[in-house]
Chain A
Amino acid sequence: MILELQQISKSFGGLQALSNISFAVPEGQIMGLLGPNGAGKTTLFNVINGVYAPSQGHVIFRGHDLKGLKPYHIARMGMARTHQIVRPLKDLTVRENVMVGACFGREGHNLAEAAQIADDIMQFVGLAERARQLAGSLNVAQKKRLELARALAARPHLLLLDEVLAGLNPAEIATMVETIRRIRDQGVTIIMIEHVMHATMKLCDQLVVLDYGKQLAAGTPAEVAANPQVIEAYLGDPKLAESLMDDAA
């Protein structure tokens, strides 16, 4: 198991954002994190990569308890993430943005090496032509790819993707799905938060569903889509569930 969550709870004052979340992610898989808006998915990402300390419970990454570690420690241990709301370093070029990932990520490259890695990765995600442009001048789809490129440049063991498909058109989604699959094929474990159900069902090996901060279901896409609680809380429509089960099959 590359990542294990043991009874994670997180509260902000009186608000219980996460309660008692436990699951494990095997190495080399794609795990999907589902749930309605406000279910606590992004909060869980923030707990996993150290932005928030959990109120209770433990995050075990590659055998190490992450208790008390800061996001930069965890990043250097080989965990990278993208943000749902893109956070480009606006006044740096696209290439410099990606170089930050390579310089300060798991492998800690120097500038010359980072520049080469950045060039490779910009090619991989399709940003090569934008290399010298300022990151602030990209459109939303390009900024999403930049988020992904920065995370990949760190050469992570585990990649957290927060809604990388949201806001993309069908053609862009197809490209991104293909990209994610290729990243997995290179041995990177992925946890992805996604609302684009059909893509999620096709991509993910395992799913975890959150609702109001609680773990509603976990299992293979087929199991989850057949779960009556999930249908009620999230999918809402048995017909959609059926079509998703077809996708998963």
Chain B
Amino acid sequence: MKDRPSFASEAITAEREASVKLGLLRRSPGLWLTLAIALVVGLYPALTGNVAVREVVFTMLLSVALASSLNILLGYTGYVSFGHVVFFGLGGYVGMFLLSRGMGLWLAAPAGGLASGVLAFLLGKAILRLRGAYFALATIGINEAMRAFINNFAPFGGPTGISLNFQIYTGYGGAGQALWLTYYVLLGLAIVSLVLSYLVKTSKFGLGLMAIREDEDAAEVMGVITPNAKTWAYILSAIIPGIVGALFFFKNGNIEPNDAFRLHFSIEMLVMVMLGGQGTVLGPMLGAAGYQGLRGFLVTSPLFKDVQLAVAGGLLLLIVLFIPAGAVGWLRQHFPRLRALLP
């Protein structure tokens, strides 16, 4: 193979090289802004010591970690998963099973994440060849199948699920301490999910995912090994939800099939990602916090408390119709100058 001259019509100047590097640097302030918001909100309950506020922020951080993970598949790769809660549920079950057998949280929670990652790998091989609506339908089927399976799976307690002995929390400094502990771990996981999202988005792997999102056939022709890229995206989007599931049900003290595999929670995750802006790092975080804030208002309002899910559905409809890019996506489109701050 003979060496080919480059297509450069002129030599690469030092200036241009600098502009490439500067371009990479310029994209970072948005990450720092995102993490700063997460940290300020996340540490606020710790500084005030207010337990009620902590529970509100706990729900928000949980949603941030889940929405941010889902965004890797939905926002970057363009695959709509309607059953993403299956990873939350499975991670929760595996974690609770191990906790009830005496394993510590530090091993049980990662084991939950690992189990979800393995499930995503196996599912990826099976259903990621489906495109569009067919993939979305398959993910719903998997969530329902998993719920039915666990309902009849004796080691996981069947329909009654698994409950933790209250004694278990003494190992973590008592129930009160254990609640704070799970809170801090969750804050850490939310931060990790945001950093992971940013790293994926700004990597070569992420560029391949976005090529798949825009035109999967064209991506293949350009050399993106689409089955591998999609499977990795699915796995990465499943691990953190698995760990979060284990953590959530550890805090909860018990797990049942109908709590672990709530299909409407999947749809709420989609609303969060779409509301904030799919395919952005900041969007799912703002969408998750915004949606949980709204939901918190709705469930405590006498007028809306019974119809809060209908509001979520209506919200999704409005977003899809009027701002399909989501809040952050809309801002990026209309204020290109702000893009560096809105990753």
Contacts and interface: CB of A to CB of B under 8 A. Distances in A.
Interface stretch (B2-10, B59-67, B160-168, B284-292): B2-10
B306 interface: no
Contacts of B6: 117, 120
Interface stretch (B100-108, B172-180, B209-217, B296-304): B209-217
A133 B240 CA distance: 34
Given A100-B219, A152-B7, A116 B12 contact: yes
B311 interface: no
Contacts of B220: 51, 70-72, 75
Interface residues of A, number: 45
A121 B204 CA distance: 19
Nearest to B210: A92
B203 interface: yes
Given A90-B214, A103-B207, A155-B4, A116 B222 contact: no
A123 interface: yes
B211 A51 contact: no
| Among B12, B20, B207, B222, residue most surrounded by chain A Cβ atoms (within 10 Å) | B222
B7 A121 contact: yes
A101 B224 CA distance: 9
A60 interface: no
A148 B6 CA distance: 16
A87 B215 contact: yes
Interface string A61-104: 00000000011100110001101000111111000100111011
Contact of B224 (A80, A100, A188): A100
B18 to A, nearest CB: 12
A120 B16 CA distance: 10
A120 B217 contact: no
Given A110-B204, A111-B203, A123 B9 contact: yes
Contacts of B222: 72, 75, 80, 100-101, 104-105, 150, 154
Nearest to A95: B23
B74 to A, nearest CB: 14
A193 B182 CA distance: 63
B217 A92 contact: no
Contacts of B218: 83, 87, 89
Contacts of B210: 89, 91-92, 96
Interface in A116-136: 116-117, 119-121, 123-124
A124 B208 contact: no
B145 to A, nearest CB: 30
B4 A186 contact: yes
A111 B229 CA distance: 16
Contact of B2 (A51, A92, A119, A187): A187
A70 B21 CA distance: 35
Contact of A100 (B5, B23, B24, B211): B211
A123 B204 contact: no
B301 to A, nearest CB: 38
Contact of A187 (B4, B12, B217, B225): B4
Given A103-B204, A111-B204, A120-B12, A89 B211 contact: yes
Nearest to A89: B214
B3 to A, nearest CB: 9
> Considering residues B2, B207, B208, which has the most beta carbons from chain A within 10 angstroms of its beta carbon?
B207
A92 B8 CA distance: 23
Contacts of A81: 221
Interface in B9-31: 9-10, 12, 16-17, 20-21, 23-24
Interface of B: 1-2, 4-10, 12, 16-17, 20-21, 23-24, 202-204, 207-208, 210-211, 213-215, 217-226, 279
24 contacts: A51-B221, A70-B220, A72-B220, A72-B222, A75-B223, A83-B218, A87-B215, A87-B217, A89-B214, A91-B210, A92-B214, A96-B210, A103-B207, A104-B208, A104-B219, A105-B223, A106-B223, A110-B204, A114-B204, A121-B7, A124-B8, A154-B222, A186-B4, A186-B7
